[in-house]
Amino acid sequence: MKKSYLLSLVAIMIFVLLSGCNGEEKANGSNGNGGKTTIQFWHSLDGKNGEYMDALIQRFNDSQDEVKVVGTFQGSYDEAATKLQQSISANTGPDVTMLERAYVQQFAESDVLEDMSSYLKSSGLKKSDFAKGLMGHSTFNEKLVSLPLNRSTPILHVNKTILDEKGLKVPTNWEELKKVANALVVKEGGKVNRYGFTMPYDTWYPIAMISQSKGTFFNKDKTSIGFEKNDVGVKVFEYLKDMQKTGALYYPPSQDSGNIVNQMFTTGKVPMMFQSTGTIGDISQNAKFDYVTAFLPKNDVYATPTGGGNVAMLASSKNKEAAWKFIDFMMEDPDGLLQFILDTGYLPFTKKMAESKEIQDLWAKEPNRKTAYDQLKYAVDNNKSVAWPQTMHEFFSAIEAIMYDDAKIEPTLKTFKKETERILSEN
């Protein structure tokens, strides 16, 4: 997205509100903190994960007496990206921010993110230390503008107790998934009391299935969609709709869909679920059955998108050394993101993390947590584009029309293609 678009003017009241988000501790030196430099960190973690991030920030603040980090929850990934756009225009942005990985490119193209190459070089890390499958949204125009933070992939979550009762095996491909899901359906008087499998309302899962069918989201030239070839998109949604009609697939309401499917899974109302690896911690605590995880079933090939947030430093920060001190703590200190990952179930993203005694002991105790890391060898990010955030909303509209309103698949995807081409031509 062009810089002029990204840094568009916003209403004065929004500027004032956003300025308030920074509080009186805007990083300009000591700010009454005993000589400490205060930096602002914006993130999109709430609930239990927000508590874990608050704990990380507190550990950093307690670990030294030079920098104080003030963390602020800024809403969902979409909301946080919008607020960041507005704050940059208003010159009220934070020093460090979390960005959902697919948003990084549009900010990088606008030259508002600091190139952290020299900072990384001065640390104990290099780019090759990071898991390759999680670095696709870190370097743009030869600048290192973000690093992994709370990264995840979707995986298959399974109530193995129910599958064992039915003499069923964990599915490894689409054909097996359909058979197993249908075999798990329980109906009484035409009403479905137990579905076969589910997934949250999200673009993530159709994109995964497109990739598993050797399709791409955008075409090679980024002028149109790439999954029209060989009717890949049509076949993906036909597969989903076929199972939705039999009760094999429960497709949840769009509002709070993640929590809805998690609860259905942990209460045994659906024995299989496509969901983020980041939910393993909570599911493990609440599941009263033999709970296992597996790779997403393949169609032609195994493939998975990646997700979650990266961390970036704002080029406008007046306290870059302090900002990097915090980022480096997250990357390298055992009390940083390693502990956060142990707490949450997100992916370790450096070789040092993956090989640490803490992670190795955790994987030995809870093999479910290793699945997503092993699946990274099949990681594919083919929805990379500065236009992705706009295109994503159009794709959501297509998903809603097909999955909720029973709109015909082929014309719906043709409409989506037309909108995508319009958006891509404007960027």
Would you say 292 and 14 are in contact if contact means Cβ atoms under 8 Å apart? Answer: no
Regarding predicted confidence, which is higher, 234 or 27?
A: 234
Q: What is the pLDDT of residue 16?
A: 36
Task: State the chain's mean pLDDT as an integer.
Answer: 91
User: Would you say residue 32 has pLDDT above 70?
Assistant: no
User: Would you say residue 137 has pLDDT above 90?
Assistant: yes
pLDDT tens per residue, range 69-125 = 999 999 999 999 999 999 999 999 999 999 999 999 999 999 999 999 999 999 989
pTM for the full model?
0.84
Structure tokens, 38: 């205060």
pLDDT tens per residue, range 106-115 = 999 999 999 9
Averaged pLDDT for residues 248-257: 96
Domains in the chain and their CATH numbers? Answer: 3-151+308-355 (3.40.190.10), 154-305+380-425 (3.40.190.10)
Sorting pLDDT into bands at 50, 70 and 90, what band is 301?
very high
